[in-house]
Structure 1
Amino acid sequence: MGLSMPVNLPVFCAGIETELLTRFPRFRSIQVMDGSKDGKPRWVQTVVNVDDHIIVPRLDLAAVDSDPEKAVEDYVASLSLLPMDRRRPLWEFHFLDFRTSEAASTTVLRLHHSIGDGMSIMTLLMASSRSTADPARLPAMPPPPKRTGAIYQRCPQPPRLWSSDYLAWLWSYVVLAWHTLVDIVLLAATVLFLRDPGTMFTLVPDGGQSRRRKRLVHQSLRLDDVKLIKTVLNCTMNDVLVGVTSAALSRYYFRKSCK
């Protein structure tokens, strides 16, 4: 999260104690095994020392001065390689107190997915924040962008009764109902007796892991390119990333399977 000013750590820690720790039990709980045959973890509340979860790293000043954006990216990437300490609640705040091209300082929230997903955590943080001008008021949010694409337009009124346009409009709903029925039948058949054909993404028939060597592949994208596609297609950045990932998996599958 990019901020317009450095964080006041004493005020921030006090807000963590009064907002997150008091109101949300997951932030003051750890996972322990219940000792049963299944060995399922359960949440147990514990005493939280906020200072253990506030981290101000010491970075190479020369690297920060030469390329602060890359310093932020490298630090965030390094966090993904470090395990979290399960003896305390699985969340941390990392503060990078140096200026980048878009922010005066950067805050990195690292937490386990069992506490919450991206949208729920962002909503939680906004609900736990207060305006600096009026501590009793929630911070003001920018208005949502207006969607002007064809998919956001209101459905037109049906044409006049028994005209050719009306029959075409009615037929489209008949086709939609037919395809919906076929999909429901195929879904039920798949649940009962049909099985998907084996692919390179499925496990071997005996239920074990495949012996083929696996690699973790990643690809960096320019944020400006993603924003450009989002603007041209009038969609969200999440739509762009999901589409790119889907296309990449499809190309990989058809190239490897020669189908």
Structure 2
Amino acid sequence: MEATMNVATPPSRSLSVHVSAETESADNSTAEDPMSPTGRVFEEMGVYIIVVMGLSMPVNLPVFCAGIETELLTRFPRFRSIQVMDGSKDGKPRWVQTVVNVDDHIIVPRLDLAAVDSDPEKAVEDYVASLSLLPMDRRRPLWEFHFLDFRTSEAASTTVLRLHHSIGDGMSIMTLLMASSRSTADPARLPAMPPPPKRTGAIYQRCPQPPRLWSSDYLAWLWSYVVLAWHTLVDIVLLAATVLFLRDPGTMFTLVPDGGQSRRRKRLVHQSLRLDDVKLIKTVLNCTMNDVLVGVTSAALSRYYFRKSCNINTKRICLRSILPVNTRPVSSRQTYVTKVETGNRISNIICPFYIALHNDPLEYVRTAKRSMHRKKSSLEVMFAQMTVDFLVKYFGPKALTMHYLNYGSNIKVILTVDDEQFPDCHQLLNDFAESVKLVRDAASLKTLTTRSRMTE
């Protein structure tokens, strides 16, 4: 039984948001801000980001609201801005600052208590799924907090942030939330952030200075640019073919059109994976954690596909996935503790993705490693954004989206699925956990075999 809510329609109370000459001129640096091309695509499609946060104690609503007022509204102009069309011939959208009443963005729904007591996890899941169908009032800034004040197996209470994707991408929103948090013991202390990564440049970055002329290192350096140019040319041709005629084979992962008669409900489900398991696989195969996760995804979707389809033809199926890439010059969140850059600064790479059955589970990760290494030797990310924006705008998102989030000793795998096409989405989620276990066991066996040979 689904929980019932009192937010099925937009609130009818009067709005505090208005745009005036005084408001627009309050801060000339941010009062009028043109929307980025990526932001315009998200604005036209109505794409939202939903962040589900489990709290270790019941929410203190007055304190939370005061923090929103102090941190978000004061420091980040996008949270006090609305989207309006300018007066030009093209009618491009822009950001205009306005007056915000925090109470208009705070929602405490009334849920079916029997449904909550029976299965609190499902109550949260159903409520979050319902947000994918509820419109937001464009007369006020497009963000809102939802507070679910009941205990689940993982949290004492749950807070859900929903905001329009044109406000920012996942990296900026995650950084914003962390930078806005404060310690209860020392509210003046800035939050601890992850250490800087080893790589701070673009994924395609090469050594800027050539080695000694005509040495072996120089020839290798020169060859790397030849490979970069060739891979870029091939990828640009494939991008053009994708727009013009290239299509993936039809599978259960392709969104089934409904004639555009109604919005499709999206369900968010998640499961924890052990970070140590991923690190073990990474060490054994000498690859990156991203390689491992892409390989695990391929293994999980392959298990699900062949089980559901009962397909006896185990020939490899090649699909294409869109992988977001952060285009900020420095990828460390530490840089943005005091000044978080909102907005969308992401591009994408279109990566081949394989549905296949392998006798050796490690082959999924090896294949992912080869694909990702190939993409790192290309400038595709500099050209892909326009193509991806076109595909998403005119063909819509697919039926399945995956996110991985590292938190403490766990990695959360988060699936956003079309509710009609994946009624058994929890089985798909279990395939991820089972795939990690199979790949980890194969990696452990490989390690034991290697050690045994070394001692003989």
Relative to structure 1, the CA distance from residue 146 to residue 173 in structure 2 (aligned partners, 3 Å threshold; closer, same or farther) is closer
Counterpart among 135, 147, 157 of residue 95 in structure 1: 147
Larger RCO (CA within 8 A; separation ≥ 6): 2
Classify 1:166/1:256 alpha carbon distance in 2 versus 1 (closer, same or farther; 3 Å).
Answer: farther
CA displacement 1:5-59 (0-9 Å, x = unmatched): 1221111111111111111111011111113321211111111000010111111
1:249 Cα shift?
Answer: 10
Deviates more, 1:240-249 or 1:67-76: 240-249
Q: Percent identity over the alignment?
A: 100
Instruction: State the alpha-carbon separation in 2 of the partners of residues 234 and 246 from structure 1.
Output: 19
Q: How do 1:56-67 and structure 2 match up within 5 A?
A: 56-67=108-119
CA contact (8 A) 1:95 1:107 kept: yes
Deviations 1:88-111 (A, max 9, x none): 000001111111111111111100
Contact 2:82–2:98 under 8 Å retained in 1: yes
Give the stretch that moved more between structures: 81-90 or 224-233: 224-233
Q: Are the counterparts in 1 of residues 115 and 123 from structure 2 also a CA contact under 8 Å? A: yes
Match of residue 208 from structure 1: 260
> Aligned to 1:154, what secondary structure does the other structure show?
coil
Q: Distance between the aligned counterparts of 1:159 and 1:38, measured in 2?
A: 50
Supply the distance in 1 between the matched residues of 2:90 and 2:218 (Cα, whole angstroms).
Answer: 60
Match of 1:110 in 2: 162
Cα deviation, 1:99-144, whole Å, max 9, x if unaligned, reads 1111111111100011111111110111111111100113345779
Decide which moves more: 220-229 or 92-101.
Answer: 220-229
In structure 2, relative to structure 1, the CA distance for the partners of 1:187 and 1:34 (3 Å cut) is closer
8 Å CA contact 1:147–1:234 kept in 2: the answer is: no
- Residue 187 of structure 1 pairs with residue 239 of structure 2: yes
Q: 2: CA distance between counterparts of 1:83 and 1:70?
A: 22
Q: TM-score, normalised by structure 2?
A: 0.38
> Is the Cα contact below 8 Å between 2:151 and 2:157 reproduced in 1?
yes
Structure 1 spans left out of the alignment, 5+ residues: none
Name the residue aligned to 2:182.
130
Distance (whole Å) between structure 1 residues aligned to residue 279 and residue 109 of structure 2: 31
Q: CA deviation at 1:152?
A: 16
Q: Residue 175 of structure 1 corresponds to which residue in structure 2?
A: 227
Deviations 1:191-250 (A, max 9, x none): 999999999999999999999999999999999999999999898997677668889999
**Helix, strand or coil at the partner of 1:151:** coil
Q: Structure 1 residues 34, 248: closer, same or farther in 2, change over 3 A?
A: farther
| Cα distance in structure 1, aligned partners of 2:151 and 2:288 | 28
User: In 1, are the aligned partners of 2:125 and 2:267 still within 8 Å (CA)?
Assistant: no
Q: Cα gap change, 1:230/1:103 in structure 2, threshold over 3 Å: closer, same or farther?
A: farther
Deviates more, 1:194-203 or 1:59-68: 194-203
Contact kept? 1:159, 1:166, Cα under 8 Å: yes
Task: Between 118-127 and 218-227, report the one with greater CA deviation.
Answer: 218-227
* 138-147 or 197-206, which deviates more: 197-206
| Structure label with greater radius of gyration | 1
Deviation track 1:168-192 (CA, whole Å, cap 9, x = no partner) reads: 9999998788767877899999999
Q: Return 46-55 or 242-251, whichever deviates more.
A: 242-251
Change (3 A) 1:210 1:33: closer
CA distance in 2, matches of 1:181, 1:7: 53
Any conservation in 2 of the 1:204–1:210 contact (CA below 8 Å)? no
**Structure 1: how far apart are the matches of 2:90 and 2:63?**
43
Partner of 1:18: 70
Q: Residues 245 and 148 from structure 1, CA distance in 2 versus in 1: closer, same or farther, beyond 3 angstroms?
A: same
1:133-161 per-position Cα deviation (integer Å, ceiling 9, x unaligned): 10011334577999999999999999999
* 1:169–1:125 Cα change, 3 Å: closer
How far apart, CA to CA, are the structure 2 residues paired with 1:169 and 1:69?
54
Check the 8 A contact 1:203/1:210 in 2, yes or no.
no
1:83 aligns with 2:141: no
Using a 3 Å threshold, how does the CA distance of structure 1 residues 7 and 148 change in structure 2: closer, same or farther? same
Deviation of 1:163 (Å): 14
Paired residue secondary structure (2:183):
coil
C-alpha distance in 2, partners of 1:53/1:209?
29
What CA distance in whole angstroms lies between the structure 2 residues aligned with 1:212 and 1:51?
29
Deviates more, 1:213-222 or 1:224-233: 213-222
1:72, 1:78 → 2: CA distance? 10
Q: 1:28 aligns with which of 80, 96, 108?
A: 80
Point out the more displaced range, 13-22 or 203-212: 203-212
Alpha-carbon distance change, 253 to 127 in structure 1, aligned in 2, over 3 angstroms: same
Question: Counterparts of 1:126 and 1:211 in 2: how far apart (Å)?
Answer: 32
Structure 2 contact 133–265 (Cα < 8 Å) conserved:
no
2:213 maps to which residue? 161
Higher strand share: 2
